[in-house]
Amino acid sequence: MAERQPQILDLEQVIRSKAGDKARYIPKFVIRWFKNFMHLDFINEYLKEGYMGVEFCENTLKYLGVELEIAGKENLPKDGRRYTFVSNHPLGAIDGVTLGAVIGREYDGKIKYLMNDLLMNLKGMAPLGIPINKLGGQARNLPKMINEVYESDNQMLIFPAGLCSRKIDGKIQDIEWAKFFIKKSRETGRDIVPIHFEGENSKRFYRIASWQKKLGLKFNFAMMLLPDEMYRSKGRHYKVTIGKPIPIESLDRSKSDFEWAQEIRKCVYDL
């Protein structure tokens, strides 16, 4: 059990770390509004407990009163090998926490997954994460960090869409999956375990994500809604379905890695 590290999240400090000198142009009333919108007091009340890693994920679910239904748990391999676990990403926050809890507990906390670098401001999540920031020096180091963790004895949890699901053709679903998890799993001899997470965000979330796309805005405004979406998950029931492992040897050269990624995406939605 990791030693607890109590934390109080300082939103202004997070903003300064991301916005740099431009942070001084953000009005104080905007920061106050956002503190309320993201339920900062509710979050900090939990962070004061100081849970770390898998315990952080497990106790987040308890704090929110989330109920889980897990189907196919017998498909989680118990042979001591390393695997890549891949899932759709319908919620953008609570689904990552949930799978961190389920898979992390099954494999004694030996789990890593890619997460937005903003989440690394949460001490409890940091031990599980590989921070993703497409800008700056961290972006240059990302391939090296991914290689190192794939070569480690950690299980890998990947959301290949890279962002949470959107409303596409009238359905809540992931965008096309990136192919890198196929390549890295092949290089490191990891079979792939498909997982389907059942859930949706609010209609407001999908409206804003749609406007953002139509307007061609690069900043991910929808992501800023995720703390509120997570707060709305209080007392919710979610179903997780775990499929049988897919042997990496079966992903032969009859298809490109990108095509295999879409095949596994389909497999996940068929679960």
pLDDT digits (tens, 9 = 90+) for 104-157: 999 999 999 888 766 777 889 988 988 776 444 455 677 888 888 899 999 999
Tell me what the pLDDT averaged over the chain comes to: 88
Assess whether pLDDT exceeds 60 at residue 37: yes
Residue 135: per-residue pLDDT: 44
108 Rama class: left (phi>0) / alpha (psi -120 to 50) / beta: left
In a domain, 31, yes or no: no
Q: Is the pLDDT of residue 233 over 60?
A: yes
Within-domain flag for 107: yes
**Per-residue confidence (pLDDT) for residue 158, from 0 to 100:** 94
The one-letter amino acid at 118: L
Q: Does residue 47 lie within any of the structural domains?
A: no
Q: What gap in Å lies between CA 118 and CA 130, rounded to an integer?
A: 11
The predicted structure's pLDDT at residue 3: 81
Q: Is residue 235 part of a domain?
A: yes
Q: At residue 267, does pLDDT exceed 90?
A: yes
**C-alpha atoms less than 13 angstroms from C-alpha of 71 in its C-beta half-sphere:** 11
Q: Is residue 35 part of a domain?
A: no
> Closest by alpha carbon to 180, among 257, 269, 113, 246?
257
Using alpha carbons, select from 142, 65, 75, 62 the residue that is nearest to residue 103.
75
Q: What number is the average pLDDT over the span 29-37?
A: 85
% of the chain with per-residue pLDDT over 90: 58
Q: What per-residue confidence (pLDDT) applies to 213?
A: 78
Q: Do residues 69 and 238 make contact, with C-beta atoms less than 8 angstroms apart?
A: yes
User: CA 96, 86, 211, 203 torsion: positive or negative?
Assistant: negative
Total domains, the chain: 1
Instruction: Tell me whether residue 262 is in a domain.
Output: yes
Q: Let me know if residue 139 belongs to a domain.
A: yes
pLDDT score for 1: 64
In this prediction, residues 81-104 reach a mean pLDDT of 94
More confident residue, 61 or 122: 61
Question: Domain for residue 6, yes or no?
Answer: no
Q: Which of 54-58, 101-105, 136-140, 202-206 has the lowest mean pLDDT?
A: 136-140
* Owning domain of residue 133: 65-270
Evaluate if residue 271 carries a pLDDT over 80. yes
Mean pLDDT, range 97-106, rounded to an integer = 94
Confidence (pLDDT) at 211: 81
Tell me the per-residue pLDDT of 178-189, one tens digit each, with 9 for 90 and over: 999 999 999 999
